[in-house]
Amino acid sequence: MIIVEGIDHLNLAVTDLQKSVAFYSEIFDFEIEDDAHRGYVVMTLDPIKIKLVKVDKVENPLSALNIPQFSFVMDVDDFTEAITEFEAKGIEIVKGPETTENGGETLLFKDPDNNLIEIFYTN
């Protein structure tokens, strides 16, 4: 059996590295960990690590099926604050907020490349 200790990072295809770095920095407070390479930037929000990979065109079948690339869990106060911040920054909410089976709420929105992202809280 192969023993896995965790996930190091998640890859996300983007068409504009600067725009995506700004988005993930401003919305979620991700910080640049490594931008010394051409074609990608690694960002962290401890313990989460994402690798924004520059591509010419993003073709995301998951977003087309309303399946989020990421699902970030937060507490109810941060969830409510996020909705207010999205509205203030003109970020379109694709779906929600909706009540979940466990009494929490979920919301879907898109990043600059239409990658679908979920935020939610549980009770």
* pLDDT tens digits, 22-45: 999 999 999 999 988 889 999 999
**How many other C-beta atoms lie within 10 A of the C-beta of residue 64?**
10
Task: Sketch out the chain's domains with CATH numbers.
Answer: 1-56 (3.10.180.10), 60-123 (3.10.180.10)
**Is the per-residue pLDDT at 62 higher than 70?**
no
Which pLDDT does position 92 carry in this prediction? 86
With b meaning 16 or more CB within 10 Å and e meaning fewer, what string describes 43-55?
Answer: beeeeebbbbbee
Which pLDDT does position 56 carry in this prediction? 92
Provide the pLDDT confidence category of residue 102 given band limits of 50, 70 and 90.
Answer: confident
* pLDDT tens digits, 3-29: 888 888 989 999 999 999 999 999 999
